[in-house]
Every structure is written in structure tokens, then in C-alpha cells.
Amino acid sequence: MHLYQNQNLKIYNSLSGEKELFKPIHEGHVGMYVCGPTVYSNVHLGNCRTFISFDLVYRYLKHLGFKVRYVRNITDVGHIVDDEDEGEDKIAKKARVEQIEPMEVVQKYSVDFHQIMELLNNHAPSIEPTATGHIIEQIEIIKQIIDNGYAYVSNGSVYFDVTKYNQAHNYGKLSGRNIEDMISNTRDLDGQSDKLNSLDFALWKNAEPQHIMRWPSPWGDGFPGWHLECTAMSTKYLGKHFDIHGGGMDLKFPHHECEIAQNEACTGETPVNYWMHANMLTLNGKKMAKSTGNNILPRELFTGANSVLSKAFSPSVARFFILQAHYRSILDFSDDAILASEKGYNRLMEAIGNLENIEPNSVSTLDIASWKQTCYDAMNDDFNSPILIAQLFEAVRFINLLREGKETITTTDLDLFKKAVHAFVFDVLGLQSEREAAGNSDKLDGVVNMLIGMRDEARANKDWGLSDEIRDKLLELGIQLKDGKEGTTFTI
């Protein structure tokens, strides 16, 4: 019997605004899609919070015994600056600024994203599709939407007809917006646009002659609209009707609203049963923004190379800090807050270490089974990680009482207790002990030092090409070599 058969998991559904009992479409199987990064810059801490939140969901569903297909995409084309249909593609703009190919931008920041996710101990998704790898699927969906009468071609671009769609469906049902209010609040385009209505959004954009990223289509050379990409990739791998769709709160409108509209216009079906949205991360009480300097990148947090924090913090402490707040609440990041989290994390890890030295007794004075169920109750209540962490600190109190001889535990209960603590701390919350994290760091040090040795040998043989290649490849991975009198050192 699987655990999920004995646990009643409830998920807050953004579509209904209520917590609903989770019932997958197919018994024992879950299909989950999460909007991944647009890879035009280093992943920021707010994005990391979203991906940690859904890693928690993924881990808990697997812990319950579900077979989960977790799809998280890479947006490598089509995301227009300021999330509007007019303007420049974010990746193309970065390529122009840096004077490199767009796919060099994509590669550089995809590598960075994966490294940060690994440091934060996020599981890789089951499938990680790219938008550029699914152009054909997107074109086919556009054809179907046009055939169904919900899109129109205008000067080589294709736009979704929101007004026509709203006559048969409900545009705004996810975000709770009223279409009349939206129309009155949008600026009058004075006939300057190819759109019939200001709310209409692009399914396919005609590429200007100077536009680098372009593909042939029935409507001319162009590139897909941002919203369409997720519709194509989610339905290809999860079907036209699946269980969970997640993303940051900022994606609810227009991105997710448009996804629902596209799916319904194409298939006639509502695509997703449970919509989940993770809330934002602020810094010192203000919105994180590169433009104002109120921003910190994950690597700056891990190395201490920033002007915001008093010291460096490990990825596990950062993960613990994020999980101490519920995924739907706003979380403020500050030096004081993460220092407090570090103390809590250290207390938890110290107690887990002490648990290994507890001696069993013939009598249990603690009700371990009831405590364990309170941990499940927390996670079953819309993945309430802060309540779970509170229960784990109750376990820390138990461990200290056992060490002091003020409580006793049988061999059977001790085994149950250890397994439950390890399952919730390491498997569900995805935390790592500093020793485990250090072990991974030691392996990395060993590999980099081996490459430094190979580079030294290449330089001795005057093989400058190989020497430069090793240095440049490491730099692409975020590892910078520094040559000095004492030899070569590196920083990450």
C-alpha cells in the first residue's frame, strides 16, 4: 500500500481560490508542469524560491508514493522585454548587447541555472524541454486555434482573439479580472497596432529583417509568442488535461491566463486541475530589482561577495530559510533573517547527529507515531513547510530529552523516529548536512585541481591552445582561475 492512500493531501487551487482535496487524473500518477527560467541572465534568488517551492511539491508527492512526471521548461526564445507583444526578445537583446550568438546566451545562462539548482539540492525535472525545440508543435497549435476561429493573421503575425474567445469562455477566470475593466484600462492604440483589440496577444510574431531568431511558418518567417510555448510543451508531455501547473505569482496574469485560453481554444478542454503559485521574495522589505541595486544573486550569497549580508551562507541554509515560510506567503530576505535561519539549521543538524548516539530502552515515554502524523498533517495542508519545520524542532526537543535521560524510547520506536526524521529533513525538505555538502565540495575541488594540473602540463609543453581552452571552459562553468607566484588557484 502506498502512503498516499492513507494521507489526504489538500492543495490551494488558484483557479477556485480554495484548498481542494488532491485527486490525480490517473490513480497513482501525477503530471506536473512548472514554468522554467528565461535564460538571458543569471537566475535570481526570487526565481530560486519558486523552483525550491515546486521541488518541495515534487519531493513530497514522490515520498507519498506517486509516480510523478515533472516537466519544467527552458524559455530560450519568444519572451519579449516587459512581457508585452511589442519590443525586443530578451535573449536577442542580450546577444546584441554582448555581441554574441543568441544560443551562446542561452547556453551560458542555462549552465548557470543548472549549477545553482544543483547547489540548492533541487531534483532535476523528469523532462526539461526548450521552446526552440518545439517550434513545430507550436505552429500546429496555432493552425488549430485559427481553424477554430479564435485567432487571426495580421501582417505576418498571428494574434489570439480575446474578445471572440470570451464570448464562449471566460478570459480572466484565473486572475479574477473582468474583460470590460481590462479593455477600459488598456491604452488606445490608435490603429498603430496589427491587433484588432489591445487585449489580443501574439501567438506568432513576424520577424523584422534584423531579427536573428527566426523560423519559417505558414505566415512567414517569425518566432513564437511566449505564452504559446508553455501550452505546446505542457500538452506534448502531459496531455491536453493534466494535474498540476505551477509558477511564480507574477505569471498568473497574463502568462497563465493566456495558457488557459490557448488550450481551451485549441482543444475545447480546460487543461489543468490545480493551478499553484509561489509568492515573491523581497529584500530588506523592498522588491528585488537589478535596476535599483536591491538585488542579490545566489552565488553572491554563497561566496559572501555582496554588500547586503554580513557573511557568506551555504546553499543548505538558503534553502532552509526559504522553506521556513509557506510558499504562498511573501518572504523578506535580510541579513538578520538568514542569520536566524542559520542558527536554526545548525540546531537541527546537530540534533540529527546526536540522534545516532541515543540508546534505546525497554519503554517508550514518547508517542512517536502521533508526532510523525503531525508532520504529514503539515505537508498535507497545502505543503505547509513552516509547520513541518516546527514539528521537526519538536523532534529536536525530544532528542535533547532522550540524551538527558528525561525520556526513554524502545528500539522499535527509535528506528521509526530516525527514519521519519531523515525522511522529512532530507527526502521531503531536501536539506543537506554540511558534511554532505562539504563532501560534494571536496569532489569539485579534486576535479578542478586535476584540470589545473593538466593546464600546467599544457603550459610547460607550450600548448597554449589547450591551456586557454581549459581556463575558458572552467570560466563558462563559473570557475575562475588565478595564476600567481605560488601557482594557480580558483574561485567559484
pLDDT at 191: 45
Side chain identity, residue 435: R
Q: What is the mean pLDDT of residues 19-26?
A: 98
pLDDT at 157: 96
The tens digit of pLDDT for each residue in 74-84 reads 999 978 766 66
What mean pLDDT is reported for the chain? 92
Burial of residue 228 (number of CB atoms within 10 Å: 0-12, 13-18, 19+): buried
219-to-203, 215, 229 alpha-carbon distances in Å: 11, 10, 17
Q: What is the mean pLDDT of residues 86-99?
A: 88
- Please state whether beta strands 272-278 and 242-248 pair in parallel, antiparallel, or not at all (unpaired): parallel
Q: What is the mean pLDDT of residues 104-127?
A: 97
**Highest averaged pLDDT of the listed ranges 151-165, 430-444, 448-462:** 151-165
pLDDT at 189: 47
Q: What is the mean pLDDT of residues 130-147?
A: 98
pLDDT at 390: 98
SS3 98: helix
Whether residue 190 is predicted with pLDDT greater than 50 in this model: the reply is no
Cell triple for 251: 505569471
Do 15 and 173 contact (CB within 8 A), yes or no? yes
The tens digit of pLDDT for each residue in 401-449 reads 999 999 999 999 999 999 999 999 999 999 998 666 555 556 677 778 8
Q: How confident is the model at residue 207 (pLDDT cuts 50, 70, 90)?
A: very high
Give just the sign of the alpha carbon dihedral 369, 370, 371, 375. positive
In whole angstroms, give the CA distance from residue 169 to residue 474.
52
Q: What is the mean pLDDT of residues 19-48?
A: 96
What pTM was computed for the model? 0.88
pLDDT at 475: 80
The tens digit of pLDDT for each residue in 463-475 reads 898 888 888 888 8
pLDDT at 450: 79
Question: How many other CB atoms are found less than 10 A from the CB of residue 98?
Answer: 11
pLDDT at 440: 55
pLDDT at 243: 98
In whole angstroms, give the CA distance from residue 290 to residue 421.
39
Q: Which residue has the cell 548516539?
A: 357
Cell triple for 389: 519545520
Distance of CA 4 to the CA centre of its chain: 24
Whether residue 23 is predicted with pLDDT greater than 80 in this model: the reply is yes
Whether residue 391 is predicted with pLDDT greater than 70 in this model: the reply is yes
Which residues have a Cβ under 8 Å from the Cβ of 45 and sit 6 or more positions away? 281, 283, 288, 296, 297, 298, 301, 318, 333
Whether residue 147 is predicted with pLDDT greater than 90 in this model: the reply is yes
Q: Which residue has the cell 524560491?
A: 49
Burial of residue 193 (number of CB atoms within 10 Å: 0-12, 13-18, 19+): middle
Backbone angles phi, psi at 37, to 5 degrees: -80, 155
Whether residue 42 is predicted with pLDDT greater than 60 in this model: the reply is yes
pLDDT at 87: 77
In whole angstroms, give the CA distance from residue 305 to residue 14.
38
E runs forming strands in 299-429: 331-333
Whether residue 383 is predicted with pLDDT greater than 50 in this model: the reply is yes
